[in-house]
């Protein structure tokens, strides 16, 4: 039986991610360029943490950056490897939990996009992730990520919405607890199988942290410079975004001797 510490890896969400959430491939480009644009030419190595199907990892590898991808879902890992192979870029994908992952060598940049960080099962897991990220970075390396905030948990997660694509439809309905610290989505899949439609179910949960909890976890892990941007002005193509719903962060790991 899965314990409170266990994460259920994406299954149907992984298989149909690129088809159903096709917007995800370009969703993060504007904020990434806004926050990282001037730093990217200095980056020689990177890790896309919770890389999903590898869209961002492949974008970085295409720039000549030595890139690793890390994801917990075996299907996501396979799809990321296949995507890199298709476009002939080198990408090493490791199946690992973001709370404990280790890279073969330290990198200049770790990214964790599209609220992947919120997917850990417990609030206390944030400290595990920031420590694992700090270990993966060289001194002075940078950590770029975005998180869903409590306002999004209350404003967006209780809504019901659907997406339909050829051969697959998905209905998502969820909620959040009274404190707004935990949100969930029940994902109902309708997948065409020959002449029939099969129904599948998946349950996804997220936890959230206040800005001060995030800053304190980053500082404890050895990050010194921490900056934050509200997502609303950066994600103008995302109709679900309101001010305060999502935040992008950039944190620099302390340089030795700072």
Ligand X SMILES: C[S@@+](CC[C@H](N)C(=O)[O-])C[C@H]1O[C@@H](n2cnc3c(N)ncnc32)[C@H](O)[C@@H]1O
Task: Tell me which residues touch ligand X (CB under 6 A).
Answer: 7, 9-10, 24, 28, 50-52, 55-56, 71-73, 76, 97-99, 113-116, 119-120
Q: Give the pair of three-digit tokens for residue 96.
A: 């690992």
How far apart CA 32 and CA 213 sit, in angstroms, is: 23
Looking at beta carbons only, is 83 or 252 nearer to ligand X? 83
Looking at beta carbons only, is 17 or 223 nearer to ligand X? 17
Sign of the Cα pseudo-torsion (152, 127, 15, 47, in order): positive
N-term to C-term CA, the chain: 46
Q: Considering the complex, what minimum distance in angstroms separates the CB of residue 224 from ligand X? A: 25
Q: Considering the complex, what minimum distance in angstroms separates the CB of residue 56 from ligand X? A: 6
Of all residues in the shown chain, the one whose CB is closest to ligand X is: 52
- Residue 201, judged by CB atoms within 10 A of its CB (0-12, 13-18, 19+), counts as exposed
Q: Considering the complex, what minimum distance in angstroms separates the CB of residue 191 from ligand X? A: 19
Decide if 183 contacts 174 (C-beta within 8 A).
yes
Looking at beta carbons only, is 115 or 139 nearer to ligand X? 115
Looking at beta carbons only, is 96 or 169 nearer to ligand X? 96
């Amino acid at each position: 039986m899965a314990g409170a510490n266990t994460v259920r890896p994406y299954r149907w969400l992984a298989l149909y991610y690129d088809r159903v959430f096709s917007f995800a491939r370009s969703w993060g480009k504007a904020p990434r360029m806004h926050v990282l644009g001037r730093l990217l030419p200095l980056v020689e190595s990177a890790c896309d943490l919770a890389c999903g199907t590898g869209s961002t990892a492949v974008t970085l590898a295409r720039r000549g950056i030595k890139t690793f991808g890390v994801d917990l879902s075996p299907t996501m890992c396979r799809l990321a490897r296949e995507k890199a192979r298709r476009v002939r870029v080198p990408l090493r994908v490791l199946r690992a939990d973001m709370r404990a992952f280790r890279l073969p060598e330290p990198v200049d940049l770790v990214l964790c996009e599209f609220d992947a960080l919120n997917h850990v099962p417990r609030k206390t897991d944030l400290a595990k992730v920031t420590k694992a990220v700090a270990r993966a970075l060289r001194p002075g390396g940078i950590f770029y990520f975005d998180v869903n905030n409590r306002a999004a948990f209350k404003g967006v997660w209780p809504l019901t919405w659907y997406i339909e694509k050829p051969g697959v439809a998905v209905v998502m309905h969820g909620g959040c607890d009274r404190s707004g610290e935990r949100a969930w989505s029940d994902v109902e899949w309708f997948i065409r199988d020959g002449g029939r439609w099969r129904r599948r179910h998946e349950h996804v949960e997220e936890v959230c942290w206040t800005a001060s909890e995030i800053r304190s976890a980053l500082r404890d892990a050895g990050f010194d410079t921490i900056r934050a941007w509200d997502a609303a002005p950066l994600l103008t193509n995302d109709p679900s975004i309101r001010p305060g719903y999502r935040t992008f962060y950039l944190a620099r790991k302390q340089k030795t001797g700072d």
